[in-house]
Structure 1
Amino acid sequence: MIRNVIGSVLALTGATAAVWSPFRAWYDGRHGRDYAIDELFTGITDAKSEVIGSILLPFAFAALVAVLGVVLRSRLLVALAGLVVLGFTIFWMVRVGQAEGSLVISGDGTGLGDGVANAFGGGVLLLLGALVMSGRTRTHRVDRVDHGPRPTHPTLDGPPPVDDVTDEPRHPPQASTPYGAPTQPYDVPTWDPDRDGPPQR
Structure 2
Amino acid sequence: MIRNILGSVVALAGAAAAVLSPFRDWYDGRPGHDYRVRDLFEGITATSSGVMVSLFLPLLVAAVLTVAGVALRSRLVVALAGVLTLGFTVLWMVRQGQAAGSLAVDPDGSGLQWGVALALGGGLLMLIGSLVMSGRRGRRRGPDRVGGTPDYDARTAPYPTSGYQHPDTWPPTQEPGPSVQTSPLPEPEPDPYTGPEDPRRHDGP
Alignment TM-score, normalising by the size of structure 1 = 0.76
Matched, 1:126 2:144: no
- Match for 2:143: what amino acid? D
User: Structure 1 pair 84/154, CA: closer, same or farther in 2 (3 Å)?
Assistant: same
1:109 matched residue in structure 2: 109
User: Structure 1 pair 4/185, CA: closer, same or farther in 2 (3 Å)?
Assistant: farther
What SS class does the counterpart of residue 47 from structure 1 fall into?
coil
Matched, 1:26 2:44: no
Aligned match for 1:155, one of 173, 178, 200: 173
User: Structure 1 pair 104/154, CA: closer, same or farther in 2 (3 Å)?
Assistant: same
Q: Distance in 1 between matches of 2:26 and 2:98?
A: 15
- Match for 1:69: what amino acid? G
Any gaps of 5 or more consecutive residues in structure 2?
152-165, 191-195
- Match for 2:116: what amino acid? V
User: Structure 1 pair 159/14, CA: closer, same or farther in 2 (3 Å)?
Assistant: farther
User: Structure 1 pair 108/184, CA: closer, same or farther in 2 (3 Å)?
Assistant: farther
**Offset of 1:150 from its aligned partner?**
4.8
- Match for 1:137: what amino acid? R
**Offset of 1:149 from its aligned partner?**
3.0
User: Structure 1 pair 30/187, CA: closer, same or farther in 2 (3 Å)?
Assistant: farther
2:158 matched residue in structure 1: none
Alignment TM-score, normalising by the size of structure 2 = 0.75
Q: Distance in 1 between matches of 2:7 and 2:125?
A: 9
Deviations 1:57-81 (A, max 9, x none): 0000000000000011110110000
What SS class does the counterpart of residue 51 from structure 2 fall into?
coil
**Offset of 1:159 from its aligned partner?**
7.4
CA root-mean-square deviation: 3.4
Q: Distance in 2 between matches of 1:99 and 1:184?
A: 131
1:188 matched residue in structure 2: 202
- Match for 2:173: what amino acid? T
Percentage of identical aligned residues: 53
User: Structure 1 pair 152/49, CA: closer, same or farther in 2 (3 Å)?
Assistant: closer
- Match for 1:149: what amino acid? P
What SS class does the counterpart of residue 103 from structure 2 fall into?
coil
**Offset of 1:106 from its aligned partner?**
2.0
Aligned length: 177
User: Structure 1 pair 101/155, CA: closer, same or farther in 2 (3 Å)?
Assistant: same
Matched, 1:68 2:83: no
Deviations 1:144-177 (A, max 9, x none): 3368635598625x779xxxxxxxxxxx9xx8xx
2:37 matched residue in structure 1: 37
- Match for 1:108: what amino acid? D
1:4 matched residue in structure 2: 4
- Match for 2:9: what amino acid? V
What SS class does the counterpart of residue 53 from structure 2 fall into?
coil
Q: How does 1:166-185 map to 2 (within 5 A)?
A: none
Q: Distance in 2 between matches of 1:30 and 1:155?
A: 89
What SS class does the counterpart of residue 26 from structure 1 fall into?
strand
**Offset of 1:185 from its aligned partner?**
5.9
**Offset of 1:105 from its aligned partner?**
1.4
Any gaps of 5 or more consecutive residues in structure 1?
161-171, 191-201
